[in-house]
Structure 1
Amino acid sequence: MLATSHCTAFRMEASPWPKGKKLVHLDLKGAPPRIEYLHKLIELFASLGADGLLLEYEDMFPYEGKLKMLQATSHPPYSREEILSIQDVARSQGLEVIPLVQTFGHMEFVLKHRSLCGLREVDRCLGTLNPHLEEGRRLVEEMLRQVVDLHPGLSSIHIGADEVYLLGEGAESQRWLGGAPGRSVQQLFLGHVTRVARGMREAWPHLNIIMWDDMLRGMDQETLRDSGLGGLVQPMLWDYSPALDVEATVSLLEKYQASGLAHLWAASSFKGSTCAHTCVPSTLRHVQNHLQWLKVAGSSPAGAHLQGIALTGWQRYDHMSVLCELLPVGLPSLASCLQTLHHGRFCPDAQARATHSLGTHSVEVEAMTGSPGSEAPSFPGSRLAELVVELTALLDSEELRHFENNMYVRGWLSPYHRQRRMVNPLITQQIQDQATALQAVVMEKVEAVREEMVRLYPASTAQEWVEQHVEPVMAPLQRVLEATRVCLVEMLPHNPSPSLMDSQ
């Protein structure tokens, strides 16, 4: 359990999350779970109190025809049958499925392809679509059509549109901005999103259209009101900070509501928002984020209709970044955050429900197996979570991180010594023995992680995780080992000449 001092901070007057969906966000652009594991996760999400899934497929969707190039190549995308099975399992658990298709920003998985690079707003930005090209609009429409067609009975869809970097800097945008007085980048953004949303409304009148809100935040009420987005889209306000500014967020709700955007969503985070390369999340950090969102919900204006909250679990910051926390290590945080929303605070009962659901004694993943004699956690992927925690602790240890800077290496195996291959063999051998033993311990853990990871994820995910998170930490140790080998070869006679005494 969390320390008593932490629990005390949570004992505040609060209400549970108001009526609306609690969506678990699955970011599939990295570490996509094998379909059998994903089915187990969906069942777990339902048991933890979720009402739906926000599925960000990216390159794991089985795009067809001219869009087939968008499919993942390092591992197979989900098949059409698997996409349907995800929905079947979700439906059997009472969960709504809402797909997320990026339509403006964060289109790296599309625009990285050489044949499509002409659709970028500017060459150096892989994520932002040029809003002036008919080919780009047709591409977005076809992506949406294929996703909607493979989700029968769909009622809501998310069109992304966050972090549209460098919009307005492309040549066509520059010409458009200078073509008439008063044109702005805000209008450029609103024009594209409105065209996309109106096209969707014509094709699928029944669909609710959700979008991220960050590109709308700096716009005034008049601009938003005149945009035509009112009644077309439902902004999803996202903020993943444990220090979320409640007053500022409530003001945003008021502004959107007054601008005709009365149906609104929130987005919190249970993992993947601390740092791009984080391996193990802090439950406390993410619980605090949800406590702040509860304050926002409790202070939202009467005319703002909160449709629900998406608990995001990012797997990469964008398509080109490293893998962050894997789902198994994030599940204790997810369970705790869902229970925080259910109870309106993170009280002892909320903690008990979270730990009971996962078969653990602690809501912090790093402490799951910390008590002697405690039973092993029983949630799907718990063994991988344990192994990742153990390996990460070893990789973060002073002994490994600073091996090159310990007194013996700096004192007897410095760059000066290595360059001249002139070392004290006695101490150098001791350095080599220590480095070899440390390497063996790490590699034993790495192989255990790899073996467990390939049970839940594609082999390419295990390879990527090791290369990104293990090899950079091990590289200095490898350099030391190579230096000791070279220097000892130079300093120790392997075929000694007969001694003077032997020749007499």
Structure 2
Amino acid sequence: MEERKLFRGSIPMLEIRALHIDLKGCVPEFRRLLRQLEIYAAAHYNAVLIEWEDMFPWSDTSLRSGCAYTQDEVRKIGEKCEELGLELIPLVQSLGHMENVLSQEQYRNLQEVAGDSGCIDPLNPGSAPLICSMVDDILKLLPSVHLFHLGGDEAMTFGEGRGGAEFIEKYGRAELYLQHICKLTSHLKARKIRPLLWADMMAKWNDEDLKRIAGEADLVAWGYQGKVSRSRPSACRERLKKYLDCGIRLWGGCAYKGADGFNSELPVLEKRIENTMDWVETAEAIPMRGIIATGWSRYSTTRPQCEIQEGALQSAILTGAMLYNGNLLDGDAELVLDFLDEIGEGELSRKVTSLLQTLSGIIQEHWLLFQQHIATTASHRTQRIQGRDWYQNFFIESLESCRQRLSALRPEFQETMHELLTPECAEAYFRERELLLEYNYDYCEKVIS
């Protein structure tokens, strides 16, 4: 009997199968990133969407992390992608998720709502030139780019800035979006580069406005939970068909990691399979240029790091297989580790996954104890019971035990993540979890004191 393979056939189901690398957190060491690109190419991805955030060597050094990649390293990333046949698609935020930029003193005047660094003001004349300058920084080092993602999603304060309400009342929400974004898309189109935008901000646009955006950019409809393409307003099938009818070139967006909890340690494989297969079935019914498998490392710049890339490698490989094959057969999930063994990554994947499972177990146990302690204390208050009882002492002692077990895990975590993550990200990842347990423990002590 012929041996079953994870990747079947010679003709992929989708033209473009892109994997998203989110550098807002869990940042890989440079050499490890190059190796990851080799793994993704082996998994039959043919594009990578790199969200640079503060890891790019921006001309304005205040936007760089202390461990940002160098100009030479960025060029080598581009060369590696070209060598592997991976289309490199850069991503620069242009509306929401602007915290890295707008938290800097010199750019706070561009905040749509003063004191909120999340959204740039679409009516400020300085907003578009700033984004264009960041685009130009990338194109100087990556001149062969053909596709460029401008984000454009989840603008939580959209229209709430100075003059926003008046503009919307007179011209509409779509016009407020378009008058800002079209300055950026025009900048790219002049370089013969096709822009991409997330589609959630267009969920309620009329046909006329959709036809205008069709000439400016491809839209990426996304949704990461369950049968999202049948329920999320911007990604339901009826809406996707509307986009096509208006001449829009369409992409889909599933998630292989970063969608199962804002501070989770590992993706939930069953949920990732359901999500990806729903997008595959949708792409069979509705023509799409490709699907981007997103892998979020933070839900936003200011939130905790989640799901280290190495712990999500099995999910990334299986997602690649589903996007390539167009289906999922019984046993495919088991073939992932065989595939990783074949390319020399199986042992490391098992080691990292086991470590993160242990870490996750400690934190989940901690949360259960915390909830029980708070619930018991609330019951004491309503019954006017004075002092501690056995249960409260037990919960406090058990919470302290979780802290000690987490601290004991630190040396193994540091040793395992050495040369996988940048030292800064590895330390921050573990410290975030230590502080979580410390803060909750201190709170529990306080409420019964």
Matches within 5 A, 1:24-103: 24-64=19-59, 67-72=60-65, 75-103=66-94
- For 2:215, the equivalent position in structure 1 comes to 231
| Alpha-carbon contact 2:363-2:402 (below 8 Å) kept | no
2:227 is aligned with 1:243: yes
Q: Per-residue deviation at 1:30?
A: 1.1
Q: 1 CA distance for matches of 2:117 and 2:367?
A: 40
2:262 is aligned with 1:276: yes
Q: Per-residue deviation at 1:106?
A: 1.5
Bigger Cα displacement from structure 2, 326-335 vs 431-440: 431-440
Q: Per-residue deviation at 1:20?
A: 1.1
- For 2:194, the equivalent position in structure 1 comes to 208
SS in 1 for 2:260: coil
- For 1:500, the equivalent position in structure 2 comes to none
- For 1:333, the equivalent position in structure 2 comes to 315
Q: 2 CA distance for matches of 1:434 and 1:210?
A: 50
Q: 2 CA distance for matches of 1:398 and 1:63?
A: 40
SS in 1 for 2:143: coil
TM-score by length of 1: 0.77
Q: 2 CA distance for matches of 1:56 and 1:153?
A: 17
- For 1:317, the equivalent position in structure 2 comes to 299
2:108 aligned partner, one-letter code: C
Q: Per-residue deviation at 1:41?
A: 0.9
1:146 aligned partner, one-letter code: D
Q: 1 CA distance for matches of 2:371 and 2:160?
A: 47
2:408 is aligned with 1:444: yes
- For 2:417, the equivalent position in structure 1 comes to 453
Unaligned runs of 5+ in 1: 1-15, 361-375, 488-504
SS in 2 for 1:157: strand
Q: 2 CA distance for matches of 1:193 and 1:259?
A: 18
- The CA deviation string for residues 366-391 of structure 1, in whole angstroms up to 9 with x for no partner, is xxxxxxxxxx9726554333212112
- For 2:341, the equivalent position in structure 1 comes to 359
Between the aligned residues of both structures, percent identity stands at: 23
Q: 2 CA distance for matches of 1:160 and 1:27?
A: 12
Q: 2 CA distance for matches of 1:404 and 1:446?
A: 27
Q: 1 CA distance for matches of 2:275 and 2:228?
A: 7
Structure 1 residues 196, 404: CA separation in 2 closer, same or farther (over 3 Å shift)? closer
Aligned CA RMSD, in angstroms, stands at: 3.4
Structure 1 residues 307, 397: CA separation in 2 closer, same or farther (over 3 Å shift)? same
2:422 aligned partner, one-letter code: P
| Structure showing greater Rg | 1
Structure 1 residues 310, 380: CA separation in 2 closer, same or farther (over 3 Å shift)? farther
2:421 aligned partner, one-letter code: Y
Aligned mate of 1:187, from 175, 180, 205: 175
Structure 1 residues 477, 446: CA separation in 2 closer, same or farther (over 3 Å shift)? farther
| Alpha-carbon contact 1:55-1:97 (below 8 Å) kept | yes
2:160 is aligned with 1:169: yes
Structure 1 residues 481, 173: CA separation in 2 closer, same or farther (over 3 Å shift)? closer
Structure 1 residues 480, 237: CA separation in 2 closer, same or farther (over 3 Å shift)? closer
Q: 1 CA distance for matches of 2:219 and 2:275?
A: 19
- The CA deviation string for residues 227-270 of structure 1, in whole angstroms up to 9 with x for no partner, is 3x333211111111122243863222221122121x21111100
1:231 aligned partner, one-letter code: G
Structure 1 residues 431, 24: CA separation in 2 closer, same or farther (over 3 Å shift)? closer
Q: Per-residue deviation at 1:395?
A: 2.6
Q: Per-residue deviation at 1:174?
A: 3.5
Aligned mate of 1:19, from 14, 21, 37: 14
Q: 2 CA distance for matches of 1:61 and 1:432?
A: 44
Q: 2 CA distance for matches of 1:258 and 1:397?
A: 50
Bigger Cα displacement from structure 2, 17-26 vs 42-51: 17-26
SS in 2 for 1:455: coil
2:417 aligned partner, one-letter code: M
- The CA deviation string for residues 465-493 of structure 1, in whole angstroms up to 9 with x for no partner, is 2232233225555789999xxx9xxxxxx
| Alpha-carbon contact 2:55-2:68 (below 8 Å) kept | yes
Q: Per-residue deviation at 1:126?
A: 1.4
TM-score by length of 2: 0.85
Q: 1 CA distance for matches of 2:229 and 2:124?
A: 38
Structure 1 residues 431, 398: CA separation in 2 closer, same or farther (over 3 Å shift)? closer
2:186 is aligned with 1:198: yes
| Alpha-carbon contact 2:352-2:416 (below 8 Å) kept | yes
2:258 is aligned with 1:258: no
- For 1:10, the equivalent position in structure 2 comes to none
- The CA deviation string for residues 35-84 of structure 1, in whole angstroms up to 9 with x for no partner, is 011111111111122111100001111001xx221112xx3211011111
- For 1:502, the equivalent position in structure 2 comes to none
Q: 2 CA distance for matches of 1:86 and 1:98?
A: 12
| Alpha-carbon contact 2:58-2:137 (below 8 Å) kept | yes
Structure 1 residues 148, 401: CA separation in 2 closer, same or farther (over 3 Å shift)? same
Q: 2 CA distance for matches of 1:267 and 1:439?
A: 38
Q: 2 CA distance for matches of 1:124 and 1:151?
A: 34
Matches within 5 A, 1:138-177: 138-177=129-168
| Alpha-carbon contact 1:37-1:380 (below 8 Å) kept | no
| Alpha-carbon contact 2:53-2:92 (below 8 Å) kept | yes
2:181 aligned partner, one-letter code: V
Structure 1 residues 432, 308: CA separation in 2 closer, same or farther (over 3 Å shift)? closer
| Alpha-carbon contact 1:47-1:357 (below 8 Å) kept | no
Q: 1 CA distance for matches of 2:141 and 2:113?
A: 32
1:255 aligned partner, one-letter code: K
Q: 1 CA distance for matches of 2:45 and 2:364?
A: 34
| Alpha-carbon contact 2:17-2:324 (below 8 Å) kept | no
Q: 2 CA distance for matches of 1:437 and 1:183?
A: 59
Q: 2 CA distance for matches of 1:159 and 1:468?
A: 30
Bigger Cα displacement from structure 2, 106-115 vs 349-358: 349-358
| Alpha-carbon contact 1:48-1:354 (below 8 Å) kept | no
Q: 1 CA distance for matches of 2:407 and 2:303?
A: 25
- For 1:372, the equivalent position in structure 2 comes to none
| Alpha-carbon contact 2:43-2:321 (below 8 Å) kept | yes
Bigger Cα displacement from structure 2, 145-154 vs 472-481: 472-481
Q: 2 CA distance for matches of 1:230 and 1:432?
A: 58
Unaligned runs of 5+ in 2: 1-10, 379-384
Q: 2 CA distance for matches of 1:298 and 1:434?
A: 51
- For 2:359, the equivalent position in structure 1 comes to 391
